Structure 1
Amino acid sequence: MQSSSVLFPVALVSAEFRGDLSEDVYRLKPGNSPDPSVELALTRLGRVGHEAHRGVPVILIPGSFSNRRFWYSPKGIGLGPHLARAGFDVWIAEMRGHGLSPRNRGYRHNTVRDYVRYDLPAIGAFVFEQNPQPAHWLGHSLGGITLAGALGGGYLDEAQMASVALFGSQISRIYWPLKLPPVEWGGRLLLKRFALVSGSRLRRGPEDEPIGLVLESLRWHGLFGRFGDEQRDWWAGLCTVRVPVMAVAAAGDRQDPAWACRKLLEQFGSAIREYVCLGKQQGFSSDFGHVEMLVSKQAQAEVWPLVERWLRDGSPVPCQAATGELEIPS
């Protein structure tokens, strides 16, 4: 496996065997953003003894307050190892300041806009350089929102993408108090006093989030907010996307409700759009939750095979009820 790149400086910081898996950790220094100190960790999982076989690449993006361990536990369990053992070329990305990616100098000001404009394009370019096949991209929660933003903003090359799968990702849930300008302004003034939001203190996950990301979310959900940056309206841009897309929602998800996940999917202009709701009513064993949809024994038995089917055949459906119609509130 190459430890260098003609694109930008790349270091192979570790190469280990983890049971039947090989684990290569790269550190990318793209130098493509206003903060030149940004470095991105990218973990590749492969099968021991199959190093010469390059399967179809799959890029996994964790959500907020999370890191690569969401997809890949220290014991070699997770959707990442499952797909690697199934023959896919698995890459797990960690955004700037998360997991093995060191905190950059401007960490407190990091935003989804930075991930969309700079980090995801660099990750996609490097993976394509290492394995020049169109890649499948999977994102959970904020990871899926970031993918949607990068596609809607036109920052990712669709010719290098095989499909996109969004898990528990939405931006349509309305927080009515934030529609009142005094509430939004007061919240912004209060939050600017902090550098970060602690995931462990809030019991949301092992990682912290920069306060810049929280302030950006306030702007999205404000009275005149929109899903986009100063230059582009990402929401409007999704209508021009043509990459096959799947949205997976969880019936028991109180954070990112199923109707909102469905609404994000329907904004895509893709000819192939698949929707799956993980709930008893749709034929699954339980009403899955926001995390349990991918990290649980039930997910291992019911959801991981569904994802593998999508990656291989472009159809996730284990039973027709799984993609039944869902009414979206106006």
Structure 2
Amino acid sequence: MRRLSLLYGHVARHPNSLAHSFTFIPINPLILRGFSTTRSHNDLSPFTRRLFKLPSAPSPPSQHHDSLAQFLTYASRISLPETSTVYVGTHYEYTVLQSLRRYALALHRIGGRDDAGIDLAGTWHLPEHERERAVRVLVQCKALKTKLGPNLVRELEGALRQAPVGWRTGQTVGMLVSPREATKGVRDALARSSFPLFWMMVERDGTLRQALWNARAEEMGLGALGVETRYDMSGHVDSGASSEPRKEVAFTWDGCDIPDMDAVEGQLAHAEDQWVRSWTDNLDGVQKNVLLDTIEEAFPGGCPETDMDGTVSEIHRVKVIEALKAKA
């Protein structure tokens, strides 16, 4: 196997290497967007998930918190030591979840007896993938101080083999996220894997510092994905007598910024509204489900006018309206 090269963002194309590998040296320096203050949880409704064929949101592993802010309040209330494994691991999982919303990743913490070692699960709403084809994502967070070895890649592959319902598709990627840089052993294991895998170095404050993925991930339609090194001009890092802008990498799609998850949720809400209005007006949340039930019953093989473009034929519309009236 040839040695993986790290050449300032150049693409490594040979079959046994990572598809993309990057150093922290600036390629195309830009002003970095500030740290996300968006909601740390996914606000997609059950109907939106059904309409766009997205998996149901997993049940949260805790009744006491489902965001970083709630966890910090809870940890303070029960005097959970900040050095404990539970505190460090949970804090890091929420930090990753919140940080990656900037790149259209809608993630949830999961847990329990049958979680197969998965910490976060969700969908990646990349451009051209946001409707019905959102990439399924399973994440393992490794907030470890010890050296990370290729065994972590094997563990992630095992988790993908036992993917929960909703993530057993050909559009599911596995991600390893750690505050440490990928070792050569990890990079080689990623390159050899037959699964679509990512490695992300996310610091404990949510800064994305490294992003690697293998050829298998690129083959599943992620060829337009890239990264750029950027400067945060407001977050200077002290370096001896001088200070330097903080650097991090950011995901791009076809050379452009990826809309954050707040923007994606707005786009999906708009598309959903267009879809409803293309059939009939004045429906509440319950009636939306009735409408979708009726359409699926009327067109069991799938209706070509349900692609959110608002161009339903009058013949199909009348058929659905008559079916709705019959149910009333």
What TM-score results when the alignment is normalised by the length of structure 1? 0.29
What TM-score results when the alignment is normalised by the length of structure 2? 0.29
Structure of higher CA gyration radius: 2
